[in-house]
Amino acid sequence: MTLQDKIRHLVRPEILAMTAYHVPPATGMIKLDAMENPWPWPEALRAGWLELLAQVPLNRYPDPSARSLKAVLREVMGIPQAAGLVLGNGSDELIQMIIQSVAGPDQVVLAPEPTFVMYRQIAGIAGLRCCTVPLREDFSLDRAAMMEAVEREQPAVVFLAYPNNPTGNLFDAADIRALLAVAPGLVVVDEAYAPFTDASFMDELPNHDNLLVLRTVSKLGLAGLRLGLLAGHRDWLAQIDKTRLPYNLGSLNQASAWYALQHKPVFDAQARDIRAARAALDAGLRAMDALRVYPSEANFILFRVATGRADAVYGGLKDAGVLIKNLHGSSPALADCLRVTVGQPAENAAFLAALETLLQ
């Protein structure tokens, strides 16, 4: 058997069929592709952080239940007292843990389309079927079609990104409550973009025993740390926590996140600045007649260029030193669509200027 034959023989067909998650190189570019907070830490914060890190005993395993970090997260994220809490190495890992907890050959994951690609990707890796329901033309949730799919598929988990990635909009909260009422399994409301909107289901946790709220600190300004959190009914979380590897959060991560969250007002102020910059970026895009710009409650904006032009606009921006995300080809609903992350005002201005030149 050749090596290629062995690989084809041994690796599961669904893995062979997958394409790996691709992250393009960004060295030297204006990086507006990954929904990061564009602001580095203030110098004053750095000194105290390094002092704390110097005391972390790296010869010891980390605290497996991350007690101090959980306490501060409960406070700053407004997690209801009665709710359980599980932490992950990024919210991606929590999506994986949720899916692994219910995985089985007959189980189904349901999500609208387009949405965050990892729901489908992780379901595929775990061997679950992912059923998708198209969003409406304006990217709102199609309540009737979602309800019908829930009835038909009886999904173990429904994933709803709120606001949605890559479209940026918030689904109607009444539609989500209607799904919570009929779903036979879990409904995960993924609030990755919570810092940039006032809407949240966190306060509704006590009302629904099948609701899980997923958050991350990535968009707040700590993407390099890898820390996500899942809040929900303690009985569900006790089961999901069994799928977690014992030391999934390193000591340096725990200490860094704990320290950063002591200074949450610094990050909240940055999020407010990003919201203001989003309004300016939105206005700049709307001033260009050739574009359709979609309203956003997140730290990115989706826009549509003229038919067949997305690859050229993406490439032209790249040549001009600006990296954004090209969504053309990723879903029929996203034909000719590009997504730009809100950067620093000067970066946004450079992006708008380069785009304007390309559209002329």
Contacts with ligand PMP by CB under 6 A lie at 35, 90-92, 116, 161, 165, 190, 192, 216, 218, 223, 228
* Minimum distance of ligand PMP from residue 126's CB (angstroms): 17
Pairing relationship of beta strands 157-161 and 186-190 according to DSSP bridges: parallel
Q: Yes or no: say if 322 and 349 are a contact pair by the CB < 8 Å rule.
A: no
CB-wise, 222 or 237, nearer to ligand PMP? 222
Looking up tokens 């395993």 gives 61
Task: Examine residue 163 and say whether the peptide bond preceding it is cis (omega within 30 degrees of 0).
Answer: yes
CB-wise, 92 or 336, nearer to ligand PMP? 92
CB-wise, 227 or 358, nearer to ligand PMP? 227
* Minimum distance of ligand PMP from residue 92's CB (angstroms): 4
Number of neighbours of residue 238 by Cβ within 10 angstroms:
11
CB-wise, 156 or 230, nearer to ligand PMP? 230
* Minimum distance of ligand PMP from residue 260's CB (angstroms): 14
CB-wise, 225 or 354, nearer to ligand PMP? 225
Indicate if the alpha-carbon torsion angle 195, 199, 201, 202 is positive or negative: positive
In DSSP notation, 293-358 reads E---SSSEEEEE-STT-HHHHHHHHHHTTEE-EE-TTT-GGGTTEEEEE---HHHHHHHHHHHHHH
Q: Yes or no: say if 113 and 134 are a contact pair by the CB < 8 Å rule.
A: yes
CB-wise, 299 or 352, nearer to ligand PMP? 299
Terminal CA-to-CA distance of the chain, rounded, Å? 57
In DSSP notation, 90-141 reads SHHHHHHHHHHHH--TT-EEEEEES--HHHHHHHHHTT-EEEEEE--TTS--
Indicate if the alpha-carbon torsion angle 70, 270, 201, 32 is positive or negative: negative
CB-wise, 190 or 336, nearer to ligand PMP? 190
* Minimum distance of ligand PMP from residue 332's CB (angstroms): 20
Give, for 235, the enclosing helix (H) or strand (E): helix 234-240
